[in-house]
Amino acid sequence: MEAIASMILIPLAFWLDVSKVERALLISSLLILLIVEMLNTAIEVVVDRIGTEIDPLSGLAKDVASTSVMFATILAGSVWAIIVLY
The residues annotated with a catalytic role in the active site are 37
With CA atoms as reference, report the closest residue to 30 among 2, 51, 11: 2
DSSP 8-state symbol, 17: -
- In angstroms, rounded to a whole number, what is the distance separating the alpha carbons of residues 69 and 32? 10
